Chains A and B, each alone.
Chain A
Amino acid sequence: MKNQINALLLTAALSGLMGGTSVAAQSTQNHNGSTVKAAKAGLRYTAQDKDTSKHSCKGKNDCKGQGGCKTGDNGCKAKNSCKGKGGCATDGSKPSAI
Chain B
Amino acid sequence: MNLETLQRAMAAAVMMPLTADDAMAQTAPDGRAMEAVAGSFIAPNSRLTAFERLEIYNRQYWFRMLGALAEDFPALQAVVGARAFEALSVAYLTEHPSRSFTLRNLGSKLADWLAAHPERGGRRHGLAVDVARIEWAFVEAFDQEALTPLTLDEVAALSGDSRIGLQPHVQLMALEHPADDLVLGLHDRQKREASEAGVRGEAVPMEPMRLPRLRRRATWLAAHRVEMSVYYRRMEPEEYRTLSALRRGLTLGAALEAGFEGSKLAEGRRPKKVREWFATWAELGWLCRASSEEQPQRTGREDE
Residues in A lying within 8 Å of B, measured CB to CB: 5-6, 8-25, 27, 34, 36-38, 40-50, 52, 54-56, 58-59, 70-71, 73, 76, 82-89, 91-98
A61 → B minimal CB distance (Å): 9
Chain B positions 145-160 with a Cβ under 8 Å from a chain A Cβ: 149-152, 155-156, 158, 160
Question: Taking A59-B104, A86-B59, A87-B59 as contacts, is the C-beta distance between A6 and B257 under 8 angstroms?
Answer: yes
Q: How far apart sit A49 and B64, CA to CA, in the bound complex (Å)?
A: 23
Q: How far apart sit A20 and B284, CA to CA, in the bound complex (Å)?
A: 8
Task: Pick from B138, B143, B233, B279: contact of A16, CB below 8 A.
Answer: B279
Q: How far apart sit A48 and B142, CA to CA, in the bound complex (Å)?
A: 9
Question: Taking A37-B284, A43-B233, A47-B187 as contacts, is the C-beta distance between A54 and B71 under 8 angstroms?
Answer: yes
Q: How far apart sit A84 and B142, CA to CA, in the bound complex (Å)?
A: 39
- Cross-chain pair count, CB within 8 angstroms: 203
Total interface residues on B, CB under 8 Å, equals: 74
B-side contacts of A98, CB under 8 Å: 22
Task: Pick from B160, B224, B227, B282: contact of A21, CB below 8 A.
Answer: B282
Question: Taking A34-B227, A45-B138, A45-B229 as contacts, is the C-beta distance between A17 and B271 under 8 angstroms?
Answer: no
A23 → B minimal CB distance (Å): 5
Q: How far apart sit A89 and B101, CA to CA, in the bound complex (Å)?
A: 18
Which 7 pairs, one residue from A and one from B, show the smallest C-beta to C-beta distance? A20-B282, A42-B233, A16-B278, A70-B103, A47-B187, A20-B279, A58-B104
